[in-house]
Chain A
Amino acid sequence: MSKLQSLQEKINYDKTFDCVQCGYCLPACPTYETMERETHSPRGRINLVKMVAEGKASIDDLEKPIEKCLGCMACTTVCPTNVQYGQILEGAKEVIEDHQVKSTSRKKMEDFLFGSFFPSGKWMDTLGSLTWFYQKSGLQTFANLLRLTKAAPLHLDKFEKVIPKQPSPKERAKRTKRYIRTRPARAKVAFFTGCVMDSVFFQTNQNTIELLLRWGFEVVLPEEQTCCGALHAHSGKVHDSIHLAKRNIEAFEEEEVDYIINNAGGCGARMVEYDHLFEEGTSWHKRAEQFVSKMKDISEVLVEVDHVYFNKLIDKTVTYQPSCHMTNVQKVLSPPLQLMKKVPGLTLKELDRPDFCCGSAGIYNIINYEDSMDILDVKMRDVCNAESETVVTTNPGCLLQMKLGIEREGVNHTMDAEHLVDLLLEADPQQR
């Protein structure tokens, strides 16, 4: 195979032919809107991948347009010819990743982040605990804590203000691996805790378990579970991401469960596509399919509320910012809205353009801070117009980003952001 041929295979050249260049993706693409050029549109990116595969442009030419893609997948929802943009994007990222010559410090930082940090429950616990300690002591900033800002021009300090109050290490340690309250249970579910979700939003995870219990589920937390691998895939580290998928599939096979529940739109999106990572016909593909068939966003199982009622009146106006990955990949659209409509006293004002990404996009807002803020500004105009007191989201990245947006707009005295799970628990659901 020639060099070009092997590049073509790796970069999914064949899949670029599904694009008929109709341009229907343009109005859906946030970066086309804020960056104002075809180069930063789905159609433009697919064309560039094709040009690279044909040897007309270089991998260097491709780097910036691909790096600036949010991966929100809004284009795939509107695409009339079902182009597999996700696969084209990941292929391009992998090619760029392999081609890049990185400085030693950058490499070390990435090795640590992707190899040890996100996949490790311990590290994630430590991050949460350390965050708690530093918040309590007020000694250091979050950015210094991670010592990352020197290795790469990240803007972690900007996020410091919006990290929620952390539980103490003692509270963290109290969590067990198995919960059951109602006998017989409605069904047995395994809870995917996630990495960032379980560290920074530990309390929301606890609330998720509580909600599932109130709905009458038996909840187990498989010990060997790890990071979903989404952040790895977004960064072109495909092999790492496959490795993590295998670990999760194994971890959740340990116990017979009816559903695997997640509460993070981005993680859920990655995991419902685990089967795409393995060749059809292989045993891993079969196991992945099993895993995928059980994977549900929490709102999907809670939406059956016939046997549950909300006991507490929540007298406020909220708006809903759906997670792009939940909308465009998991295709979970109405359950969160249906649930909110059941909460007594709650007024739901929908956004003009709910499907426009908030700019969080995994760690996009850390790596491409300025571009992310341009997108956030567009989102916040819409959010502010909705004149709500709370922005409800279903993904940790979106939640942090919305908090950041509220801070940036200077409306933090009248508006906040919270996870759907926290809102629902506040409404005190009870079994009939």
Chain B
Amino acid sequence: MSNWMEDLREVIPGNQIMTEIADRYSYSFDASFGEYLPDAAVQAKTKQEVVHIVKIANQFNIPIYPRGQGTCLSGGPLPVHGGIVLDLSQWPEQIELNADDLTVKVSPSVLTDRINEEAEKHGLMYAPDPSSAHVATIGGNLAENSGGPRGLKYGVTKDFVLGLELVTPEGEVIRTGGQTIKNVTGFDLTKLIVGSEGTLGVITEATLKLMPKPPSVQTVMVEFENVRTAGEAISRTLTSGILPSKMEFMDKACIQAVEKFQPSGLPVDAEAIVIIELDGHPETLKLETVLIENIMEEIGASNVSIPATSEEAAKIWHARKQVSPAIAKIKPTKVSEDATVPRSKIPDMMDRLNEIKEKYQVEVVVFGHAGDGNLHPNILCDKRDQEEMIRVEKAVEEIFQAAINLGGTLSGEHGIGTMKAPFMEQELGAVGLEMMKRIKDSWDPNRIMNPGKIFPEKGQKLVLRNE
């Protein structure tokens, strides 16, 4: 250890190298499961520092794990094999906005919300809106290819990346893509790197695409007497020529949890609600609101409410935001999944989730971005109860299986990380996974860059228990 540490200190200032036990434990976790003690946590504030750290890691064969603010829900920055956690969150913020080109160049540490704030000053917006955007760094969003409610209309992080600067696992600097909307020069390495969960290198700069900010928004809340109708209503809306910016789903357990936690005026008798947000020109929104009302009535929704003021609308979205704290009151541990299915299969997925809930006797609540098939079944449990956690592990496995069987995917927006790695082959097939592995091995011959993620290790199983 002393050798590489001495080499590190040649370039990296002492206060950016953390080796005390309190510091090491502070970088041992993220917002998912498990804690792994790294040998050191090292902060990089410039590209040169990243290059230096990565070269040393590569030379001494030390695993290295890039980390933003540690809000990852799939274990991306967990130092599962010890080594160095590379903290990029303290890199000084750089946001270079070019309004005429509708692009922005950012450092990896920039909080995602800050990009949107700057864009709005020019009447523009950065569309991806993960719910942690006010905490999470763009570097982490790029590594995990984060989504968000607006993904329905605008797409996810990868759809907004024009170019990247990356330090490769061997410590070389490359640039991918560029600054133009169209670019077909060579392989699309940009898209390969986005969502590679830090296994192919460290992103040190990104050029992102901005869009004109829609002039107005309109919220509509629809109540349903059964979940299947809610699912059909989503498909019917999307095939009617209307593309809402958000379509958020909450099941009965969710609604009741929110009302119990903080009464917000949600309909406690409804089996499900769908909260829709339309964006665009005010005149268009008036027409679309009426169209949606008609569709919902026709399909048999039990009630449609259209908030008259932005305050009333804000109240509905506030209630949606209360889901996380509200369900945490049911039980302390939250296993948040993001298995995603084709939109038409939402009702089937809901049925499967109900069966799984019965079979394993676990608490499941479902909410999420139903408009794009991205449900968030959350299992509420207690980490300290070993017996219960075994049942939860089995339930999670079946949720993954159900999503794959319905033609869906393991992860819509959280990433694979450690938790879902054991299920990769089921979705991709042995050869599909092997081709990915070959890419990884050629990029990172010494396998130092975020090992233990995406690719399952021999005999690896889903484990939510610490012991």
Contacts and interface: CB of A to CB of B under 8 A. Distances in A.
Contacts of B27: 38
Nearest to B324: A80
A21 B23 contact: no
> Chain A interface secondary structure, helix, strand, loop or mixed?
loop
A158 interface: no
B229 interface: no
Contacts of A37: 18, 23, 26, 41, 43, 87, 90
Contacts of A43: 70
A39 B43 contact: no
Count class of interface residues, chain A:
20 to 34
A24 interface: yes
B332 interface: yes
A316 to B, nearest CB: 31
Given A17-B384, A27-B134, A22 B31 contact: yes
B21 A57 contact: yes
A39 B333 contact: no
Interface string B144-177: 0000000000000000000000000000000000
A80 B20 CA distance: 30
Most chain B beta-carbon contacts within 10 A, residue among A17, A23, A58: A23
A61 B22 CA distance: 6
B22 A64 contact: yes
B22 A62 contact: yes
A61 B70 CA distance: 21
A36 B26 contact: no
Contact of B26 (A22, A27, A47, A82): A47
Q: Which secondary structure dominates chain B's binding surface? A: loop
B392 to A, nearest CB: 15
Interface string A382-411: 000000000000000000000000000000
Contacts of B325: 80-82
A48 B383 CA distance: 18
Interface string A69-103: 00000000000111000000000000000000000
A61 B18 CA distance: 13
A20 B382 CA distance: 12
Nearest to B334: A20
B249 interface: no
Given A36-B90, A82-B325, A21 B29 contact: yes
B26 A44 contact: yes
Interface in B264-280: none
A57 B28 CA distance: 13
The residue in B25, B30, B324, B325 that gathers the most chain A C-beta atoms within 10 A of its C-beta is: B25
28 contacts: A17-B333, A17-B383, A17-B384, A18-B328, A21-B29, A21-B31, A22-B135, A22-B324, A23-B31, A23-B132, A26-B69, A26-B135, A36-B43, A37-B41, A37-B43, A38-B26, A38-B27, A38-B41, A38-B70, A39-B23, A44-B26, A47-B25, A47-B35, A48-B26, A57-B21, A58-B21, A61-B22, A80-B325
Given A23-B135, A58-B21, 9 more contacts: A17-B332, A23-B136, A36-B90, A43-B70, A44-B26, A48-B22, A51-B25, A57-B21, A81-B325
Interface of A: 17-18, 20-24, 26-27, 36-39, 41, 43-44, 47-48, 51, 56-58, 61-62, 64-65, 80-82
